Structure 1
Amino acid sequence: MKSYCTLLILSLLLLTSCKEVLEPTPYDIRIDDLALTRAADVPLVRIGLYSAFRSMTSSIVIAGDFTADNIKHNGTFASYQEFGTKQITSTNTDVSDYWGRIYRTVYVANFILERLPAVTGVTEANRKQLTAEARFLRGFANFMGTYTYGDIPLPTTTDQSTNRNIGRTARATVLASVLADYQAALADLPDDSSTGAAYLSKRVVQAALARFYLYQKNWAEAERYATLVINSGKFSLVPDYNTVVIQNFTSESIFEVGYTQNDDPATLNTLFVSRREVIPSDQLVAVLNSAESGARVATITFNVQQQQGNDNGWTVRKYGIAIENNANIVVFRLAEMYLIRAEARAQQGNQIGANGAVADLTILRNRAKASAITVTNQADVLLAIERERQYELAFEGHRWYDLVRTGRAQAVMAAFSPNWNSRYELWPIPQSEILRNPGLQGAQNPGY
């Protein structure tokens, strides 16, 4: 596999000059600098683990929002044009970048899990925490990988001879490994991180399990884990939705990827703001400006001077630069837990009442000063939840995954783009990976 033999072992991916502007090499650590032979190495390797994971998060936003109906192409990059026109190919650079970032995270996690048991002088508490962090982030990477690409390789070692020829693993097996990693992490992580939402805790794992079971359609468990997070009392919705857009580490943040002025690549800010490579789609602009969305229109902003030709004049506000205090990428926040619980309750036929789906939606809609929900039957409530997720979580990397997992992608996306095809419910396996890994040859996703 390229991701193990070249990208991960030898060096970080060498990017074109444009991509270097958007995504420079992380300042804090390079993967080929990792060493874990003594206790003093543990803090740096931990940074390396979080750094590898951090590189994934902008790709999650690109996959979740660019593949779906939240954006339209407005620039010059061919990869984003493919997303905008719904003509995605296996040679798309963002498709291969995301793959590489997933396996970079998996590699560092496997590196830790292999080496840490033999390192002397590490306190048992530190050993348990780093092991749990490695297992959770490996599990999360595999979770995103299988819902992006389908059946994917499942490496559990750093051995090159083993990893260079791994074929695709059935999604059910991948998800079983994800669940095992999550459960192991849940047992050993602290209840709450002493350093806030930038690091892992049991609450993060509970939020991940709520999302995991939602995707699995295990409604009872999705509701249970979402409720555990909601009832923990550790998080609260900010009164003004605008705060979610313009501020890092709000009171509702469960886990987010933090940046400082020294290491901020400003990738999403560059794409959305300075280069305007992609802009909010006309359809999203319309719904965010509706009474149903309410204050969620704060996610985007309008400048009449930019309105010309294909440019509708609207810009995503959610990602700035570090000095602006909104450069972070949120992985989990409390509002998603209410949305997960609402969907799980509705799917179990529990729409109305104090503990019904509509009650959870109303909490978010009151915060957004949006119009009241009047529907009560299951089908209409589920559609209301779908819309609420688009309003509330726009540009946080959920939309495409939501449409696919609910079976709504074809209906929604065919109406959005004449080029939509059901094959886009999965991204292609990167062609570069197929050429380098014999185990993937002849195993491309259908239609690519």
Structure 2
Amino acid sequence: MNRFSRYCILLVLVSMASCREVLEPKSVDLLEDNLVLNEPADVQPVRIGLYSALRATAAPTVIAGDFTADYIQHNGTFTDYRELATKQITPANGAVSALWGSLYRTIYVANFIIERLPQVTGVTEATRKSVLAEARFMRGYANFIATNTYGDVPQVTTIDQIANRTVPRTPKATILASVLADYQAALTDLPNITTASTNVTNNATYLNKITCRAALARYYLYQKNWAQAESFASQVISSGVYTLVPNYQDVVVKDFIPESILEVGYNLTDDPGTGNFALNNLFVSRREVIPSNQLVASLVNTESGERVQTITFNAQNQRGNDNGWTVRKYGTGTEDNNNIVLMRLAEMYLIRAEARAQQGKLAGADGAVADLNVLRTRAKAPAVAVANQADVLSAVERERVYELAFEGHRWYDLVRTGRAQAVMSAFSPNWNVRYELWPIPQSEIQQNTALQGKQNPGY
């Protein structure tokens, strides 16, 4: 078998359909893995495979973060999206399985690199350290999403086929401790960038120390470690590597803008505009889901400023329950906005604003209100006035809706802030506290005996 064929096999491994068994890869994959990472020339294709695995997590994460919450209403025929929109989610939901599968594929490829790369001779120490750091980051990132989506999840740390057949659920706290350890290890050896590069695409596509600091800022926000969240967000903002674009419209209609910290790209041959879990297909082609009336009301409010450009209106679409509004953020392969942004600089301002508000730092140049007004000025929205802590925290929540709509944050935000029950019960009569976690996919429970009888409560 030639090297090209072996590289193709790895790429197939990380792009399998969601129904493929993840915790127990077929033996043929493990046999081919023995061939793929044997010499220095194999390292770069395996690294590309790792980024390909990450890319597959992007659309399902947006679906989890925004479709589970109050951003969408069902407008099509697919059962998966009707369940999400009407808050009647089941363990057999295809989107639930798609996210699980993509996350564990990322973890598997990361573990493959972590296990195999140290054994490959002839690789420079600098390359070995940086690629291992990328693998540690990716594993941590995938585990972070997994545990915040499903709760206690299997902690897979090996590519051993036998060991991975019966991996039990691991407490969320243990998973999060491993996430922090992976991020800290990655931060040590990822490449350093000290100034903004003319190659914006590279800054957003490949990991560096600033990327990891941004992930740590989000990590500590979720952990309610306000001081650390503020510190890491400040490090990202003050680095100068990433800058806010002057016009919010560019956030909606352009790829690889200067504020993108981590972004996954596509081309005509792997365009996300087609497929069951492709965002452009869901939002535009099929109009399977449309912006909810509640979200539309928020975005057309003058408080959102130019963030209303996230959605667009066409009266010709108005019929039945269709309100005529469509999400603009995700285009096709022939458009300049078909990528998916995983982290961008605006989120760092929002993280810092929330962390500062939680610490009582409200006014002044180093206060939460100043951070909110940076984004509101960019969006040509009215400035936020200094108020009490509760009002500022409410302003942060609203600003995250305006600024980050359809980037996969809303449900996670509501759950982590304890606001899910209040907001979602007003949105849907079917809302139940069980929906603060997604169910473990039914297919995984059937395949992994250690998961049987261990479904999340209420499912």
Question: 1:137-196 CA deviation, whole Å, 9 max, x = no partner?
Answer: 000000000000000000100011111101100011000100010001100001138722
> Which residue of the other structure, out of 369, 375, 379, is the alignment partner of 2:390?
379
Residue 203 of structure 2 aligns with an amino acid whose one-letter code is G
Q: Secondary structure of the residue that 1:160 maps to in structure 2?
A: coil
> Which residue of the other structure, out of 331, 353, 360, is the alignment partner of 1:342?
353
Whose RCO is larger (CA < 8 A, sep 6+)? 1
Find the counterpart in structure 1 of residue 205 from structure 2. Answer: 198
**Cα distance, 1:264 vs. partner?**
1.8
Q: Secondary structure of the residue that 2:324 maps to in structure 1?
A: strand
> Which residue of the other structure, out of 234, 239, 245, is the alignment partner of 1:232?
239
Quickly say closer, same or farther: Cα 1:31–1:75, change in 2 above 3 A: farther
The answer to whether the 8 A contact 1:207-1:226 is kept is: yes
Distance 2:246 2:404 in 1: 16
Quickly say closer, same or farther: Cα 1:401–1:10, change in 2 above 3 A: closer
The answer to whether the 8 A contact 1:245-1:326 is kept is: yes
The answer to whether the 8 A contact 2:18-2:98 is kept is: no
**Cα distance, 1:322 vs. partner?**
2.7
**Cα distance, 1:126 vs. partner?**
1.0
Find the counterpart in structure 1 of residue 174 from structure 2. Answer: 173
Distance 1:338 1:61 in 2: 20
**Cα distance, 1:374 vs. partner?**
2.4
Distance 1:397 1:384 in 2: 19
Find the counterpart in structure 1 of residue 81 from structure 2. Answer: 80
> Which residue of the other structure, out of 317, 320, 334, is the alignment partner of 1:323?
334
**Cα distance, 1:15 vs. partner?**
6.6
RMSD over aligned Cα atoms: 1.7
Residue 250 of structure 1 aligns with an amino acid whose one-letter code is I
The answer to whether the 8 A contact 2:14-2:109 is kept is: no
1:388 is aligned to 2:399: yes
**Cα distance, 1:130 vs. partner?**
0.7
Identity %: 67
Find the counterpart in structure 2 of residue 261 from structure 1. Answer: 268
* Structure 1 runs, 4 residues or longer, greater than 3 Å off: 8-11, 30-34
Residue 39 of structure 1 aligns with an amino acid whose one-letter code is P
Distance 1:64 1:10 in 2: 23
Q: Secondary structure of the residue that 1:279 maps to in structure 2?
A: strand
The answer to whether the 8 A contact 1:146-1:152 is kept is: yes
Quickly say closer, same or farther: Cα 1:14–1:204, change in 2 above 3 A: closer
Residue 307 of structure 1 aligns with an amino acid whose one-letter code is Q
Find the counterpart in structure 2 of residue 56 from structure 1. Answer: 57
**Cα distance, 1:9 vs. partner?**
7.0
1:368 is aligned to 2:375: no
Distance 1:65 1:283 in 2: 13
Structure 2 length-normalised TM: 0.91
1:219 is aligned to 2:220: no
1:244 is aligned to 2:261: no
The answer to whether the 8 A contact 1:113-1:131 is kept is: yes
Find the counterpart in structure 2 of residue 110 from structure 1. Answer: 111
Find the counterpart in structure 2 of residue 126 from structure 1. Answer: 127
Distance 2:228 2:54 in 1: 26
Residue 300 of structure 1 aligns with an amino acid whose one-letter code is I
Distance 2:203 2:152 in 1: 34
Residue 16 of structure 2 aligns with an amino acid whose one-letter code is L
**Cα distance, 1:37 vs. partner?**
1.1
Residue 209 of structure 1 aligns with an amino acid whose one-letter code is L
Q: Secondary structure of the residue that 1:305 maps to in structure 2?
A: helix
**Cα distance, 1:14 vs. partner?**
6.9
1:397 is aligned to 2:408: yes
Find the counterpart in structure 2 of residue 157 from structure 1. Answer: 158
Distance 2:94 2:381 in 1: 39
**Cα distance, 1:32 vs. partner?**
8.4
Q: Secondary structure of the residue that 2:261 maps to in structure 1?
A: strand
Find the counterpart in structure 1 of residue 419 from structure 2. Answer: 408
Quickly say closer, same or farther: Cα 1:446–1:253, change in 2 above 3 A: same
Residue 331 of structure 1 aligns with an amino acid whose one-letter code is L
Unaligned runs of 5+ in 1: 1-7, 17-29
Residue 345 of structure 1 aligns with an amino acid whose one-letter code is R
The answer to whether the 8 A contact 2:14-2:53 is kept is: no
Distance 2:178 2:417 in 1: 23
Quickly say closer, same or farther: Cα 1:163–1:370, change in 2 above 3 A: same
Structure 1 length-normalised TM: 0.93
Q: Secondary structure of the residue that 1:217 maps to in structure 2?
A: coil
**Cα distance, 1:13 vs. partner?**
2.7
Residue 287 of structure 2 aligns with an amino acid whose one-letter code is R
